[in-house]
Amino acid sequence: MSGVALLGMAGISKSTLAVKTALQMQAEFEIVVWRSLSNGPPLDELLSSLLKFFLPIYGEDPAISNTLEEKFSKLIEYLRSQRCLLILDNAEAILQGPQVAQWRSGYEAYGQFLIALGETPHQSCCLLTSREKSRGLVLMKGEQSAVKSLFLTGLALDDARAIFQQKEAFTGSETQWQILIDRYGGNPLALKLVATATQDLFDGCIVEVLTYLDRGIFVFEDICHLLDYQFDRLFEGEQKTVFWFAIYREPVAITDICESVVDSVAGKSVLQQINSLIRRSLLKKTDGLFCLHPYVLAYVTERFIQQICTKFKTQQMDVLQSHSLIGMLAKDWRREIQLRPILQLAIERLLSRFGTVSEIEKVAHKLLKQPSQKPGYLASNLRDILVQLPEMY
């Protein structure tokens, strides 16, 4: 096999699995070499580093060829002569943030390098880890291809509990443990952070954590930082599309998302954006429907509410125009589910910023008077805010 890509969102233990794989399979390879791409080394620098590693092993002159072609040709020669496991970790660092699957400016040669590495005959294997699937991997993947990709999912209950047991003692029923693990999608790093916080804040009591989870508080500060990086890499259209998954709050069909986007121009790119979110490991698929892991859902909901409040305060239509706060297409029972996490929390946040109900009402009425040339949810959202305000306060 020429190459394997381990893909998955932040904290899912791609690098850990790569290291364990190397340790378990080292007997099958004569040489194992690991390089991190997290600092974004140019391809020329990476090839030079690899050749400096290989040259002494082969007893050759340490002088390195000048051109990329010569360096790659020399590397392939080594990969052909002996079985080598080449691990390239954190490949998302050399991909553009706003454009999924695209290489950063100046790093386009990586695409050609990986394709050539996958298509050129040799007896070695390249193991690559990334939060996002590059275009080269998309083009090479197939049943008959020598390049395979594996999306990593969360840990099962027993494996997840083992993370907690490394800390200290925890108390909770089997059901409570299962709920906790499911809420964080079995993400190893997220669970490590939750385990530490559970000990520090609740003396290891699982039910105490679940009390906060039931109130929609999923994300501890460290997990927030973990997701900030991934969310900030999305371009505006992707962010607005992922907000719809926060609004629906449960597995939803692509057609429902497409029908919810009332702007015809934005609607044309929804399929592309959903595909991009899948490649970025942010969406999971269940029985043909798509959704966010609960802790990611809580994070995206918070980002959405932040935008609602910011645009409301600055009297800009934006997401108030493009997104329904309680799901216009939703059934009555789903609207009740959506009411608390989005609309009511947004109103609570607005009240903390404006101080009084009357000040919120003034801004809402001003926004209602603004002319709009596009169809959207602005009027219905503002009416929902005005209706809920006296009921809540």
Q: Per residue in 201-256, pLDDT tens?
A: 999 999 999 988 877 676 677 778 888 888 988 889 999 999 999 998 889 999 99
Determine the Cα–Cα distance for residues 152 and 295; give it in Å rounded to an integer. 17
Class of domain 227-392: mainly alpha
User: CA-based angle 193:198:201, to the nearest 5?
Assistant: 115
What pTM does this model have? Answer: 0.81
The residue ranges of the chain whose pLDDT is under 70 are 1, 61-65, 97-101, 135-146, 216, 218-219, 327-340, 373, 391-393
What is the predicted pLDDT for the residue at 332?
Answer: 54
Q: Domain locations in the chain?
A: 3-151, 157-215, 227-392
C-alpha distance from residue 39 to each of 45, 86, 90, 110 (Å): 11, 18, 9, 14
What is the predicted pLDDT for the residue at 329?
Answer: 47
What is the predicted pLDDT for the residue at 45?
Answer: 94
Element (H, E) at 285: strand 284-286
- Assign domain 3-151 to its CATH architecture: 3-Layer(aba) Sandwich (3.40)
Measured in degrees and rounded to the nearest 5, phi and psi for residue 195 equal: -60, -45
What is the predicted pLDDT for the residue at 309?
Answer: 93
Query: The tokens 């050539």 sit on which residue?
Result: 116
